[in-house]
């Protein structure tokens, strides 16, 4: 009672932490709007923009079935083209994820504290002083590497690779794989550290070695979350892979930008719908898997 009274006394405006955060957000947003200096007038379509808006949204309700203009003989039908672009979108995403998961597991292992630093779960490094220093160095270096990998956006990696190699499909895969590996490593390491440790401790008490306890006691407890998260990132990778098309890689983004620049708005909507269906299908798949994993 006394404590409560003092708490109210110390807080003249009873808005609480959340109220404070909301207030800060609103103030920041207003300040940002001022800094942005974007006139509200610019929200209206520019000259000629109205025609584009009208044509574009009119096309929303009848996506193209065939090409809007004549195409050279032998061009595959629009729908086949859209499906092929969707297939390449998935191919790039899957290849990137297969790299990112392997790299993410390795880096995530080195970035987790459970193995390196916690004597209870008992990595070999945690016990002896000399090894502990080495383990700490490896841990810190991995963290820095992970931050560097994931702070650069996949499109910027793509831009760098374009400058370094020129247009090449494998560099698109690398561009997605690098930041995704960083993100997966970060999340994997957190999941390993947050996994319940009772089984690992019990196994060690029963005489298992540190490696055994880690692989069969700790890792399986984190595995469902790790699988669910990887699948979610696959969903994101499909979107990223589609966007890479804007830089000339043969995914859905390439078809969208080409159709838009040719003013073929109905074709744009066909590609947008294919992309939406693809993403939603993967989302439903991953959602149903996640429920199995987490429940």
Partner 1 sequence: MTPRVEALHRRRPRSRLVRWSMLALLAIAVWSWTSGDIDVADLLSARRLENLRSFLRDDAQPYPFHDHPFAWSTLASWAGGLLASRGISGSIQTLAISVVAITLSAIGAAFLAPLAARNLAASRPFAPYSGPARAVAGRERARAAAWRALTTATRAVLVFLRAIPEYIWAFLFLAMLGPSAWPAVLALGIHNAGILGKLGAETVENLEAAPLRSLRWLGSSRLAIALFAVAPLALTRFLLYFFYRFETCVREATVLGLLGVVSLGYWIQDARARHFYDEMLFFVVLGALIVLAGDVLSAVARAFLRRAT
User: Contacts with partner 1: how many residues (CB under 8 A)?
Assistant: 75
For tokens 């945690």, name the residue: 126
Report 227-266 residues binding partner 1 (CB under 8 A): 231, 234, 239-240, 242-243, 246, 250, 253, 256-257, 260
Assess 92 for contact with partner 1 (CB under 8 A).
Answer: yes
- Residue 276 touching partner 1 (CB under 8 A): yes
Find the part of the chain contacting partner 1 (CB under 8 A) among 38-46, 66-74, 120-128, 203-211: 38-46
CA 150, CA 173: separation in Å to the nearest integer? 15
Binding of partner 1 by 216 (CB under 8 A): no
Binding residue for partner 1 (CB under 8 A) from 114, 178, 192, 275? 275
| Spatial separation of the C-alpha atoms in residues 154 and 174, rounded to whole Å | 9
What lies within 8 Å, CB to CB, of 186 at 6+ separation is 108, 111, 146, 150
- In the list 68, 83, 91, 138, the residue contacting partner 1 (rule: CB under 8 A) is 91
Task: Tell me the DSSP string of 241-274.
Answer: HHHHGGGT-SSHHHHHHHHHHTT-HHHHHHHHHH
Contacts with 183 (C-beta within 8 Å, 6 or more apart), sequence order = 104, 150, 233
Restricting to residues 137-166, which ones interact with partner 1 according to CB under 8 A?
Answer: 147-148, 151-153, 155-156, 159-160, 163-166
Interface with partner 1 includes 220 (CB under 8 A)? Answer: no
- The footprint of partner 1 on residues 173-192 (CB under 8 A) is 173
Question: Which of residues 5, 38, 73, 205 is near partner 1 by CB under 8 A?
Answer: 38
Backbone dihedral region for residue 190 (phi beyond 0: left; psi -120 to 50: alpha; all else: beta): alpha
């Amino acid at each position: 009672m006394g404590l409560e009274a003092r708490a109210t006394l110390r807080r003249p405006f009873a808005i609480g932490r959340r109220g404070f955060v909301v207030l800060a957000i609103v103030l920041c947003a207003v300040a940002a709007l001022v800094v942005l200096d974007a006139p509200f007038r610019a929200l209206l379509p520019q000259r000629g923009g109205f025609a584009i808006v009208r044509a574009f949204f009119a096309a929303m309700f009848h996506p193209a079935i065939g090409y809007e203009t004549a195409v050279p003989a032998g061009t595959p039908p629009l729908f086949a083209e859209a499906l092929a672009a969707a297939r390449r979108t998935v191919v790039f995403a899957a290849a990137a994820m297969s790299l990112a998961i392997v790299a993410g597991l390795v880096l995530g292992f080195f970035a987790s504290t459970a193995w390196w630093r916690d004597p209870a779960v008992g990595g070999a490094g945690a016990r002896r002083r000399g090894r502990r220093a080495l383990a700490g160095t490896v841990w810190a270096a991995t963290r820095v590497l992970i931050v560097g990998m994931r702070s650069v956006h996949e499109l910027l990696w793509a831009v760098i690779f374009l400058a370094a190699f020129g247009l090449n499909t494998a560099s698109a895969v690398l561009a997605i794989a690098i930041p995704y590996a960083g993100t997966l490593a970060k999340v994997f390491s957190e999941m390993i550290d947050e996994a319940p440790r009772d089984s690992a401790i019990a196994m060690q008490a029963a005489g298992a070695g540190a490696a055994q306890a880690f692989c069969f006691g700790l890792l399986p407890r984190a595995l469902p979350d790790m699988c669910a998260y990887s699948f979610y990132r696959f969903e994101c990778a499909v979107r990223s892979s589609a966007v890479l098309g804007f830089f000339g890689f043969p995914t859905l983004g390439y078809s969208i930008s080409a159709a838009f620049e040719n003013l073929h708005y109905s074709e744009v909507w066909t590609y947008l719908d294919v992309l939406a269906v693809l993403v939603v299908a993967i989302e439903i798949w991953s959602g149903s898997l996640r429920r199995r994993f987490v429940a």
